[in-house]
Amino acid sequence: MFKEASDPIYEFIRLYPHELEILDTFTFQRLRYIKQLGVAYMVFPSAQHTRFEHSLGVMNLAESIYRGLGYKDEELLKIVRLAGLLHDVGHPPFSHTTEVLLGDKSHERVGKELILSGELNEKLKKIGFSEENIELLVRLAFKEPKDEEEKALSHIITGELGADRMDYLRRDAYFCGTSYGFFDYGRILSHLERVNGKKCANKSAIRALESFFLGRFFMYTQVYFHKVVRILNIHLLELIQDYMERGFFSKEEFHQLTDAHIIGWALKEKDNPLVRRLFLREHFREVFSTDDWNEYNQVRAFLKEKLDERDLRFDEVEKNVMDEEFYLSYDGTLKELRQVSQLMRSLKNIKIYRIYVEPHLKDHAIQYLKKAS
């Protein structure tokens, strides 16, 4: 017996009775109110999707990868699916944007704590999961494998070509209205292999793999690191820190909140400059952008001499195109994707350094920069 959830990416996602038990907890239902891409919907209006449907997608895709790699154990599959379902359960409001406010924690650490104690732990035990199985679920969901076998299973969810990344690229592209994140995931799934215990893909999938990594590159440069998205993220953090300092909530309570808490408070403070920057497009404007760290620091120092630092914001983002090497199988011989793909060798890691100023100072700042050049 199972139910099906309609989904624009996979059409239908199967949900089994024990999984529905997990879905019907307040801890998991909270993810319905956590936007997948933070405040990116203020730039890409249809990016309204949440961590809830992403988590369902990761669970669904994790099974496809599991079976594609030749695993047969149905009991182990239950653990892998739930690891995919719960991998993001610890996200704070507005997802990755505000994770810095968790202090010495991360969303993975919060998620681990939520599964090992409290409501989720009780529910997992009620549906028949042993303490040992719950601990395995945690290790797979949060990249803490204890051996090579568990590492291979964890990579199904969290790896370079894992269910998490494959789902968020396609889902984010769909809801942002862009085509960057679409790739031939069906071909990749049908060409997955395990060689000497290592997840890889058959050489026939090389173009689909290139498309995946190229799509990831463009989603970061054009969506996740979009200049307005980035400054709105900065303003969001400033607003939330202001609320924290004013006693709206404590740092320990923050991960229990949702986007709706922050938005609700903000809509009651329409004259608050921090609110207006975020919600009324009175955000700081970009006046400089480069991929050269030295140039950035020179311009940064120059503008700090010319303008009040309170009127400046600085943003520094870096991202690897590949966090770890992925392998192709050539009749059982493994070769690095970069080794056999000219396209992958030519893709440089992303580096973007930006400077923003108060809107009314934009023209002044640009003039300063023109005179200095």
pLDDT tens digits, one per residue of 6-54: 999 999 999 999 999 999 999 999 999 999 999 999 999 999 999 999 9
Confidence of residue 115 (pLDDT cuts 50, 70, 90): very high
Range with lowest mean pLDDT among 1-10, 95-104, 158-167: 95-104
- Mean pLDDT of all residues in 248-268: 95
**CATH entry, 3-226, from 1.10.3210.10, 3.30.360.10, 3.90.1150.10, 3.90.550.10:** 1.10.3210.10
pLDDT above 80 for 373: no
- Mean pLDDT of all residues in 201-209: 95
Which pLDDT score is estimated for 219? 96
pLDDT above 80 for 104: no
Where do the domains of the chain lie? 3-226, 230-318+352-372
Which pLDDT score is estimated for 371? 84
- Mean pLDDT of all residues in 356-366: 96
Domain 230-318+352-372, CATH homologous superfamily name and number: HD domain like (3.30.70.1370)
Q: Is residue 66 within 8 Å of residue 156, measured between CB atoms? A: yes
DSSP state of 257: -
The 10 Å CB-count burial string (b at 16+, else e) for 308-344 is: eeebbbbbeeeeeebeeebbbbeeeeeeebbeebeeb
CA angle 320, 322, 327 (to 5 degrees): 165
Q: What is the pTM of this model?
A: 0.95
pLDDT above 80 for 148: yes
Confidence of residue 63 (pLDDT cuts 50, 70, 90): very high
pLDDT above 80 for 321: yes
| Strand bridging mode 350-357 / 312-319 | antiparallel
pLDDT in tens, 213-244: 999 999 999 999 999 999 999 999 999 999 99
Closest CA to 48 of 244, 283, 263: 263
pLDDT above 80 for 194: yes
Which pLDDT score is estimated for 209? 95
Which pLDDT score is estimated for 291? 97
Q: How far is C-alpha 107 from the chain's CA centre? A: 11
User: Amino acid identity of 136?
Assistant: L
- Local structure of 90: helix, strand or coil: coil
Which pLDDT score is estimated for 251? 87
Q: Provide DSSP, 46-89.
A: T---BHHHHHHHHHHHHHHHHHHTT---HHHHHHHHHHHHHTTT
| Nearest-angstrom CA–CA distance, 351 and 293 | 9
- Mean pLDDT of all residues in 313-337: 93
Which value, in Å, is the radius of gyration of the alpha carbons in the chain?
A: 22
Which pLDDT score is estimated for 198? 82
| Nearest-angstrom CA–CA distance, 180 and 85 | 25
